[in-house]
């Protein structure tokens, strides 16, 4: 009978394999999965027979499409406000463990890699994607902000690319992921079997796992779209606040960028104004913070967010009732109160 555990654990040769095993739910993380992953990683860190770890998702649709935010929503409605804090605290501890892991961790990021999946992937030392990969931090669409270390890894992308991706929540494909530095290698999905053979033969002595993977044939990808968009992104998303970013986009007159600017405006108008404003501040603070402080700041915001933020309404509109008509508070960018935004960051000192 198939193993129904939400995380499959296997040692093959000198490599430990961890498979997120909720393919019907796009391998979205729940607290049980977070605990299973963290416990096994800690055990393998001390196991001399394990020389590297592989993270993957079951099925072909997703590595991990984020955290199981619906269950957190249901718990909060049921009066268990501490459930969100427990999930995010332990999820961030897992991500921090990956960033500091003493052995190579290979994340095979095929399909969707969103939110919590990005936390796992960006914490891994070797990030492999395929032509099917779609990466993103789409939190502002549900009234949240990029977490799982997003304030660290997004804020360190070239120019304002991380600001653009965090504020808009846009997904990117393989070419753009390589361009911005969110992946190390792109293999055609037809090469995944060859990667498995390589892993089964890995002895950890002749050369590094990174070097061996780099010898596999790379994807044939189109030019990254973000390369041509970067000058406009750097101009518009360097503005001091969301209202100014919107005004700057609206002023775009270069013929080759007008359509892109209008599409970006349409996206911004659909997102939670509060979530975008907090995201902007979070990413700008994150540029100057070490990783541990980025996680701490995200947790500081998260502990207030179910009461003061827009996530409950965003989840209702997009995942529960699915009317796709969120009633954000405030409803419009022009109604944002800088003092209310500052109050959410108050009390965090590093």
Q: Active-site positions?
A: 67, 116, 139, 147
Cβ atoms of 215 and 221 closer than 8 Å? no
Cβ atoms of 50 and 14 closer than 8 Å? yes
Long-range contacts of 312-319 (CB under 8 A, 24+ apart): 312/73, 312/76, 312/77, 312/143, 313/143, 314/141, 314/142, 314/143, 314/144, 314/272, 314/275, 315/69, 315/70, 315/73, 315/142, 315/143, 316/73, 318/141, 318/142, 319/69, 319/70, 319/73, 319/142
Which letter does DSSP use for residue 102 in this model? S
Q: How far apart are CA 121 and CA 183, in angstroms?
A: 9
* Helical spans, DSSP H, in the chain: 31-45, 69-77, 82-99, 116-123, 150-153, 161-168, 174-180, 192-201, 209-214, 225-236, 242-250, 255-270, 273-286, 291-308, 311-315, 338-345
Cα angle at 136 between 247 and 65, to 5 degrees? 140
Strand bridging mode 62-64 / 112-114? parallel
Which letter does DSSP use for residue 317 in this model? I
Q: How far apart are CA 80 and CA 75, in angstroms?
A: 5
**What distance lies between CA 118 and its chain's CA centroid?**
3
Closest CA to 172 of 125, 109, 220, 217: 109
């Amino acid at each position: 009978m198939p193993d129904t555990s939400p995380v499959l654990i296997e040692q093959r040769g000198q490599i430990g394999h961890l498979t997120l095993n909720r393919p019907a739910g796009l391998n979205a993380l729940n607290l049980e999965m977070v605990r299973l992953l963290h416990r096994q990683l800690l055990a393998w860190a001390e196991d001399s027979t394990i020389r590297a770890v592989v993270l993957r998702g079951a099925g072909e649709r997703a590595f991990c499409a984020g955290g199981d935010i619906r269950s957190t929503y249901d718990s909060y409605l049921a009066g268990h406000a501490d459930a969100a804090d427990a999930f995010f605290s332990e999820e961030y501890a897992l991500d921090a463990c990956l960033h500091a892991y003493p052995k190579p961790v290979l994340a095979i990021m095929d399909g969707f890699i969103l939110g919590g999946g990005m936390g796992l992937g960006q914490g891994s030392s070797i990030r492999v994607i395929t032509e099917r990969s779609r990466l993103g931090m789409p939190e502002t669409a549900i009234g949240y902000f990029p977490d799982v270390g997003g304030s660290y890894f997004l804020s360190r992308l070239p120019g304002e690319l991380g600001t653009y991706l965090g504020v808009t929540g846009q997904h990117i494909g393989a070419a753009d992921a390589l361009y911005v530095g969110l992946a190390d290698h792109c293999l055609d999905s037809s090469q995944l079997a060859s990667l498995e053979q390589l892993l089964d033969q890995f002895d950890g002595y002749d050369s590094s796992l990174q070097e061996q993977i780099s010898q596999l044939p790379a994807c044939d990808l189109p030019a990254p779209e973000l390369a041509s968009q970067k000058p406009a992104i750097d101009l518009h998303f360097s503005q001091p606040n969301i209202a100014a970013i919107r005004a700057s986009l609206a002023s775009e007159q270069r013929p080759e960028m007008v359509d892109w600017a209008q599409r970006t405006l349409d996206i911004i108008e659909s997102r939670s104004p509060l979530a975008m404003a907090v995201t902007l501040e979070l990413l700008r603070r994150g540029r100057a913070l070490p990783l541990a402080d980025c996680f701490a700041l995200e947790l500081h915001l998260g502990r207030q967010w179910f009461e003061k933020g827009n996530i409950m309404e965003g989840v209702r509109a997009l995942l529960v009732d699915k009317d796709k008509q969120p009633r954000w508070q405030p409803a419009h960018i022009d109604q944002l109160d800088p003092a209310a935004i500052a109050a959410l960051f108050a009390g965090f000192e590093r």
